[in-house]
Amino acid sequence: MLYIGPDDVPGSDDHEGYVAGRTADGARTGIWTDPRHRAVLAYHAACECGWHDDVEHPPDAAGHAAALRAFVLHHFAPVTGRPGADPARHFLPPWSAAVPAPAPALT
Ligand SMILES: [Zn+2]
């Protein structure tokens, strides 16, 4: 998620957030992987600068949304000094938040 708020935030282009997933072997998915398409045990907020949140969320829709909010609250706001940044209004959502998750495969 990229900051698109009403005022210029110097350096904000260096902090594009995303939702990462933690796999069973402890690996983390990267910025170009939609963790909703992977077998992950948890979601957490991450940033292209290399930051990863310590707080994990369940790997479901609510957990995905919570991780996006956590990026703003736990990383973007402290790093940029913008505690009032609103995750819903001041950020372009990542494509993974705008594209619905695939339906579970029928077996
Ligand atoms: Zn960052």
Q: How far is the CA of 101 from the centre of ligand 1 (A)?
A: 25
Asked if pLDDT for residue 77 goes beyond 70, the answer is yes
**Domains held by the chain: number:** 1
Mean pLDDT, rounded, for 51-69 = 94
CB-based neighbours (< 5 A) of ligand 1, an ion? 15, 47, 49, 51
Mean pLDDT, rounded, for 55-66 = 94
Residues in the chain: 107
**Cβ proximity of 27 and 40 under 8 Å:** no
Q: How far is the CA of 102 from the centre of ligand 1 (A)?
A: 28
In a domain, 3, yes or no: no
- In this prediction, residue 97 carries a pLDDT of 64
Asked if pLDDT for residue 85 goes beyond 90, the answer is no
Asked if pLDDT for residue 94 goes beyond 70, the answer is no
In a domain, 7, yes or no: no
Q: How far is the CA of 107 from the centre of ligand 1 (A)?
A: 40
Neighbours of 77 (CB within 10 A): 15
Asked if pLDDT for residue 74 goes beyond 80, the answer is yes
**Cβ proximity of 103 and 18 under 8 Å:** no
Query: Which two tokens mark 44?
Result: 């957490």
In a domain, 91, yes or no: yes
Domain membership of residue 70 as a residue range: 15-97
Query: Which two tokens mark 87?
Result: 């995750």
In a domain, 92, yes or no: yes
2 vs 60, residue with greater confidence:
60
Q: How far is the CA of 33 from the centre of ligand 1 (A)?
A: 17
- In this prediction, residue 13 carries a pLDDT of 83
